[in-house]
């Protein structure tokens, strides 16, 4: 049984000496995850396709003490060869990892289904989307998550051995868009994120046998290059309240804060009794927009 002193926040949520890998770690939610893990003592390797973005993120956000953010790669998560090279690069430096955050993703094509006459609706959706764009979205947002996780399973299992039963885990960044029935003009993205949500559940059940947990965070509107279309020199983005309020379905009336995403990441990293869950951090959107 725990003593009261054991329940202090610094004990419950410390990730001191953890080794973490984050895909898509150079901006947006991936960078938020890197910041909170490093701030609480972890060694965090961030990777992505743009080396300059990774370097800028690490330079701007390394904590003054405790953990550290280390750029590695670059890596294209849609390539088995690139993923294997990443695993080999990290294996030369580390004997294990405790956490993988799969945050790399793309938005895909957009075509708003706002026509009430079928021929017009067909023309808009048919002409503004392609098989190639759908395949790219699925490959990046679903298939790459699967192969990234599989590639790191041996290092994750070794990480479990360092901190106890089922302590090593994967956090998949999905989306509230993968739970709702509103297409938001993003049929391919929302379908892909729905696939990512179910993939999380499949992997959590199947990878228990190698003592690796898999959970997912389903964010609402958070500032990122995907939502804000840009980031600053420190690789951070801004999403003004009025832009979120224009959507008309966000009870919180604002974008999520870095601290709120950080709390979700730390919770799923440290609570080893949680496996196979989809944690929506969405400002109440799914209370307004129908889902499941």
Contact call for residues 227 and 254 (beta carbons, < 8 A) = no
DSSP state of 208: G
Handedness of CA 241, 245, 249, 252 (dihedral sign): positive
The encoded tokens of residue 146 equal 């699967």
The encoded tokens of residue 103 equal 């945050």
Main-chain dihedrals φ then ψ at residue 86, nearest 5 degrees: -65, -45
Contact call for residues 209 and 220 (beta carbons, < 8 A) = no
- Give the CA angle between residues 90, 269, 28 to the nearest 5°: 70
Residue 152: other Cβ atoms inside 10 A: 25
Could you give the C-alpha distances from 167 to 155, 191, 213, 273, in angstroms and in order?
13, 30, 7, 9
Measured distance CA(218)–CA(174) in Å, rounded: 5
Contact call for residues 263 and 222 (beta carbons, < 8 A) = no
Q: Which residues are catalytic?
A: 174, 189, 193
Using a 10 angstrom Cβ sphere, with 0-12 exposed, 13-18 middle and 19 or more buried, the burial of residue 95 is exposed
């Amino acid at each position: 049984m725990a003593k009261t002193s054991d329940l202090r926040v610094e004990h419950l949520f410390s990730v001191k000496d953890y080794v973490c890998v984050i895909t898509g770690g150079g901006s947006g939610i991936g960078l938020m995850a890197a910041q909170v893990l490093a701030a609480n003592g972890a060694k965090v390797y961030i990777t992505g396709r743009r080396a300059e973005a990774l370097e800028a993120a690490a330079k701007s956000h390394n904590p003054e003490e405790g953990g550290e953010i280390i750029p590695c790669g670059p890596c294209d998560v849609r390539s088995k060869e690139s993923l294997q090279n990443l695993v080999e690069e990290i294996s030369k430096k580390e004997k294990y990892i405790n956490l993988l955050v799969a945050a790399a993703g793309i938005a895909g094509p957009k075509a708003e289904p706002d026509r009430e006459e079928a021929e017009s609706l067909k023309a808009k959706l048919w002409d503004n989307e392609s098989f190639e764009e759908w395949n790219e979205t699925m490959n990046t947002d679903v298939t790459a998550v699967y192969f990234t996780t599989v590639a790191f399973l041996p290092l994750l299992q070794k990480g479990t051995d360092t901190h106890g039963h089922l302590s090593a885990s994967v956090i998949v960044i999905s989306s509230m868009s993968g739970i709702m029935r509103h297409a938001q003009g993003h049929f391919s993205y929302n379908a892909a994120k729905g696939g990512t949500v179910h993939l999380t559940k499949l992997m959590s059940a199947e990878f228990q046998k190698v003592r690796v947990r898999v959970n997912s965070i389903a964010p609402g509107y958070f500032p990122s290059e995907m939502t804000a279309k840009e980031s600053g020199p420190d690789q951070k983005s801004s999403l003004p309240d009025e832009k979120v309020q224009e959507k008309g379905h966000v009870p919180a009336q604002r974008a999520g804060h870095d601290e709120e995403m950080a709390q979700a990441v730390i919770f799923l990293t440290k609570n080893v009794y949680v496996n196979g869950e989809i944690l929506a951090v969405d400002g109440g959107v799914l209370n307004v927009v129908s889902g499941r």
